[in-house]
A and B are shown apart, each in its own frame.
Chain A
Amino acid sequence: MIYFDKVTKKYGKGSTAVEDITLSIGPKEFVSIVGQSGAGKTTLLRMLLGEEVPTEGSVFFESTCVNELPQGELHSYRKRMGTVSQDFRLIDNKTAYENIAFAMEAAGRTDAEIASDVPYILDLVGLGDKGDHFPNELSGGERQRAAIGRAIINQPDVIIADEPTGNLDPINTNEIMQILEKINELGTTVILTTHNKGVVDAVGRRVITMEKGRVVRDDKQGRYIL
């Protein structure tokens, strides 16, 4: 489903973020990518989203070479991805309802679909009574739930979660992870990057360990080892 083929990403003055990475991720997998800050985890995800272009190698999503997609087709490709990040990345001047609805509008869904699906998703992520709240009126955990709601509303093939629990307390971390596991059980591939050993160990699924831009371990039922 996802294939990184000898991917290297270098920034100006020879700084290498990712070096010669080859790995594949299959459908319905739950993959945790771990490593210290600067190990290249986020760069890997940004290349998968088409936000960065590899210096060498190619990133494939099914038969699509992501780094060769023209700018005008990236938005269609991204509709197949749901993203969740550490800083939530909600639109500040839209309510939780509107943030989730925006992803549906961008995907060209009808008003009737939006009116029926958004309340359902808000309930699913535990924000049924906070749909009309703006991001600054929500706690960190609630914002992350809204972000997850937005990520899953269009039933994407893949959820990319970049440090989704980085700003959350243990209780919210646990709840967010439960939601992500539930989404995976329903058939969506989840790619998670995290520093949180407890999270990785609790999930007990595939773990890819990165160090200085390279993959140093790839364990099917791994643990956080650094």
Chain B
Amino acid sequence: MFFTSLKRIFKSGITSFFRNSFISFATVLIMTVTLLIIGSVMFMSAMLTSVLDQVRDKVDVNVYFVVDAPEIEILEFKDQVEDLPEVSYVTYTNREDALVQFRERHKDDQLTLQALDELGENPLGASLAIKAVEPSQYESIASFLDTDPVLGAEGTTIIDDVNYLQNKIVIERLNTITDAVERIGVLLALVFVIASIIIAFNTIRLAIYTAREEIKVMRLVGASNMYVRGPFIVEGILYGISATLITLIFFYPVTFYFAEYTEAWLGGVNLFEYYTTHFGLIFISLLATGVFLGVVSSFLAVQKYLKS
């Protein structure tokens, strides 16, 4: 009996969805707008995260060693630094590589290159680029470097310079900006998502308001609450599924169109590539949101007439 009822409820919901085509169309349209906003928030969040990550990625603390610092001691020091929990990774550049990189950086500056050649030897020391797990952790890494000076065989420090102090203001300002951008982003996303959810919820309530007489009649002929509510919930599910499909189809050309712009403006973030590689996540998120909205809105809207 349960399966027969379930079958009838689904059949009735699907039939109503297509027979009340105008109301279904209007409701799906509003829900599509809601999902477009939620999807756009997802894209923007991903792009923002990517841009902020790129900015954070550009920040590091460099430790420059004296020219005659033995490589074996530098590598020992590197191992110590890598063991710090605040450190994400450490990149070692030896003297020869530093020279190659310097030459490459100044390949258009003949005067500098000429001066370098006249020196006759490599004036650059090796260096470590230390990347923190979080930008806020550079301070504690710097204090470690300060308090634990690395002494060479002759008892003098092998560290020539740590550029943290020069970068400190930039790092702190960057932390403030990225935190603020993230907070504002989350707040804006919440406002948009909540507003669009309320609009979709009210649209479904309005659609069910037009069927209030139908609900009364169903109750009058002895239909149970589940039997009255069921088809409306099925319609709610169909609103959610339809809106999700339309949204996904809509996003395909839109992300494709904007891909080159986002790639150029946002440091290589390709929107279309993000859409295709994260399609499963986007599909599930939008479908879950759409179906949840449809079901909950329908349930609550019908409940009102079942109580009256």
A residues contacting B by CB (< 8 A) are 49, 51, 71-72, 74-79, 81, 83, 89-93, 102-103, 105-108, 110-111, 150, 154
A66 to chain B, nearest CB (A): 14
- A131 CA to B224 CA, complexed, in Å: 25
B residues contacting A by CB (< 8 A) are 1, 4-5, 8, 15-16, 19-20, 213-214, 216-225, 227, 307
Q: Which residues of A contact B220 (CB under 8 A)?
A: 49, 51, 78, 83, 89
Nearest neighbor of A49 in chain B, beta-carbon distance = B220
A107 to chain B, nearest CB (A): 6
Nearest first, the 10 A-B pairs at minimum CB distance are A79-B222, A106-B223, A78-B222, A103-B221, A93-B19, A75-B224, A89-B217, A75-B222, A91-B214, A106-B222
9 more CB-based (< 8 A) A-B contacts, given A49-B220, A83-B220, A106-B227: A51-B220, A75-B219, A75-B223, A78-B219, A90-B217, A91-B214, A91-B218, A107-B222, A110-B4
The verdict on A102 contacting B223 (CB below 8 Å), with A91-B214, A92-B214, A93-B19 known, is yes
Flag if A102 contacts B218 (CB, 8 Å).
Answer: yes
Flag if A78 contacts B221 (CB, 8 Å).
Answer: yes
Flag if A75 contacts B225 (CB, 8 Å).
Answer: yes
Nearest neighbor of A83 in chain B, beta-carbon distance = B220
- A91 CA to B213 CA, complexed, in Å: 8
Q: Which residues of A contact B8 (CB under 8 A)?
A: 105
- A74 CA to B20 CA, complexed, in Å: 29
Q: Which residues of B contact A106 (CB under 8 A)?
A: 218, 221-224, 227
B11 to chain A, nearest CB (A): 10
Q: Find the residue from B217, B227, B307 having the highest chain A CB count within 10 A.
A: B217
Flag if A105 contacts B227 (CB, 8 Å).
Answer: yes
A49 to chain B, nearest CB (A): 7
The verdict on A108 contacting B223 (CB below 8 Å), with A89-B213, A89-B217, A93-B16 known, is no
Flag if B4 contacts A93 (CB, 8 Å).
Answer: no
